[in-house]
Amino acid sequence: MFNNSVLMTQKMADYLWQKQQVTLNNIANVSTPGYKAQYVTFQDELKSKLDFYNQAGGSKKREAIEGTSYRVHTKADESSRLDGNNVNMDVEQVELASSYIQFQMAINDINSEFNRLRSAMK
């Protein structure tokens, strides 16, 4: 029903929403001894799927986009804190602000597309 652009924007919004949730969880656990910060990836998975479909001789971008999902990982880097917690509050706050702005842009793009469709139907 929708073009690849809308599908991609929707997937990106899902990823950014999850990224905000993970970042908020990291912030909530900043004082938890031994807690290891988590992060979310999406772009690498998408690039890998697109490369796979392109090498297979097809241009199945829609399948690549639909088949891509975000992944939550735990940061393996060592903590500089004595309690073993590796959450860096400055980094988390920047990540939260950045993902919030990107999420709002994605939602605005989706709303704009729906408004264009609504106008075309009149």
- DSSP conformational letter for 29: T
Boundaries of domain holding 110: 4-121
Token representation of residue 23: 């970042």
pLDDT at 102 over 90: yes
| Mean pLDDT across 4-28 | 91
Measured distance CA(102)–CA(117) in Å, rounded: 23
- The answer to whether the beta carbons of residues 53 and 60 sit under 8 Å apart is yes
By C-alpha distance, which of 90, 84, 48 is closest to 65? 48
pTM reported for the whole predicted model: 0.79
Q: Which has more pLDDT, 19 or 70?
A: 19
Count structural domains, the chain: 1
- pLDDT at position 20, please? 97
